[in-house]
Amino acid sequence: MSTSSHESASARLLSGVRVLDFGRVLAGPYAARHLSDLGAEVIKIERPVYGDDTRMDPYIYDDGLSAGFMQLNWGKKSLSIDLRHADAKEIIRKLVAEADVVIENFRPGVMTKLGFGYDQLVEINPSLIMCSVSAYGQTGPYAQRPGYGPVAEAAAAVPELSGDPDGAPMPTVLPIADNIASARALAAICAALYHRERTGRGEYIDISLLESAFQMHDMAVQQYLATGGEVQMTRRGIRDVTWVPWGFFAVAGEWICIMAGNDSSWRSLATVMGRDDLLADPRYADYEGRTRERNVIYGAVETWCATQPSAEQAVNALVAASVPAERVNSVAQAVAHPQLEARNMLPRYQHPIVGEVRVMNSGITLRNTASDPRGVAPDLGEHNREILRDILGLDDAEVDRLTETGVVFEHPRLARLRDAGS
């Protein structure tokens, strides 16, 4: 791993690892964000003037600062540099020599055209680990197709299984494919770092949004393959048709989720509902019977839910009997969830421009080392001088020249902040 002053930072699992993050928007940047939380020094490489696309929307905070960018890039350093410029290419090559990991999520071939493909970079740093995230992967007939998460999910039959049985397929609102891809990238990078520690060899990692979305299928694909296509899962609306009862149910103007498909949970649910008759009836005693008689089961649950004074009281009664259940929360209710608060999922930080900011934690809780977000999200080009001076040894005059000639870019806001603080 890189040997420099950044190893002296507070020890975390990935302290001493340096990452060059060429990622844009979500999948690549989020993988790099998690590496930062785990202790890596992450240098975000951004285009001049505009930076990452997520800097531009939504402008939740004053002075054109994006809440989305903060979430995806907390704890990183920003180097804003024009990769088309010869001086910029030389700077990147020198940084690669000092790096452990490179992450990018351009369309396949773009990094090679820039001079930064894996085969080109390993000539500079033979033990480099490089991870590419793309819509369809680096090989295959669709490799050059443009795509985003929802497009990959459509190809992987994800929306086809969402929505009402007689309705249209439903898009996923959350960036599921991107998040799964970022998690797979994180796992592969950590495994490659471990492998390199043992063997000294680097690795090239190829992650696609399509495969990440396709792997989310827990049953549909296997059912199709195992039955030669005779069994094909279809859209089910708000309730499952095989794991009964499992679905969403209306309670006093809200919704709750109940998942009581196994025998033990079903018996507990029937007891809570006061339906000893259902418990005594052999037709509902096992999984297969409840699947056949699902209309009766769902009708019984609907009737009980209609008698409950509130979603909270209904959930409390179910949970007290060990029935898995939760209220279907709004975003506001989820933010205030006591378990997320207890687990410090939304810690508070002081941002130098906007003041107090709450940013999502990684969700990785470690006992012996820290994994919470560090620092703040960088302004565009905020760390140009630090990176060029401290890592590459350039003097201030050379950094000034690179800035004046447009090789590197610093947001004008940074100069104003320095002047105000002087």
pLDDT tens digits, one per residue of 60-114: 666 667 888 999 999 999 999 999 999 999 999 999 999 999 999 999 999 999 9
**Is 307 in the same domain as 361?**
no
Q: What is the pLDDT of residue 270?
A: 97
Within a domain: residue 223? no
- Given a cut of 90, whether residue 247 has pLDDT beyond it is yes
**Is 47 in the same domain as 151?**
yes
Sequence-ordered list of residues with C-beta below 8 angstroms from that of 382, at least 6 positions apart, any chain = 77, 78, 410, 411, 414
- Encoded tokens for 153: 């999910």
Instruction: State the pTM of this model.
Output: 0.91
Q: What is the pLDDT of residue 352?
A: 84
**Is 189 in the same domain as 318?**
no
- Given a cut of 90, whether residue 148 has pLDDT beyond it is yes
**Is 20 in the same domain as 82?**
yes
Indicate if 178 belongs to the active site: yes
- Given a cut of 90, whether residue 199 has pLDDT beyond it is yes
* Cis-peptide, bond into residue 126, ω within 30° of zero: no
Q: What is the CATH number of the domain that holds 173?
A: 3.40.50.10540
**Is 357 in the same domain as 319?**
no
Task: Please tell me the total count of domains within the chain.
Answer: 2
Q: Is 381 left (phi over 0), alpha (psi -120 to 50) or beta?
A: left
Domain around 141: 5-215+346-421
Contact 80/380 with Cβ under 8 angstroms? Answer: yes
Residue 9: pLDDT band by 50, 70, 90 thresholds? very low
Q: What is the CATH number of the domain that holds 306?
A: 3.30.1540.10
**Is 186 in the same domain as 260?**
no
Instruction: Tell me the pairing of strands 203-208 and 246-251.
Output: unpaired
Question: Residue 8, exposed/middle/buried by CB under 10 A (0-12, 13-18, 19+)?
Answer: exposed
Distance CA 232, CA 227 (A): 9
Out of 21, 100, 178, 379, the active site residue is 178
**pLDDT tens sequence across 253-307:** 999 999 999 999 999 999 999 999 999 999 999 989 999 999 999 999 999 999 9
Q: What is the mean pLDDT of the chain?
A: 92
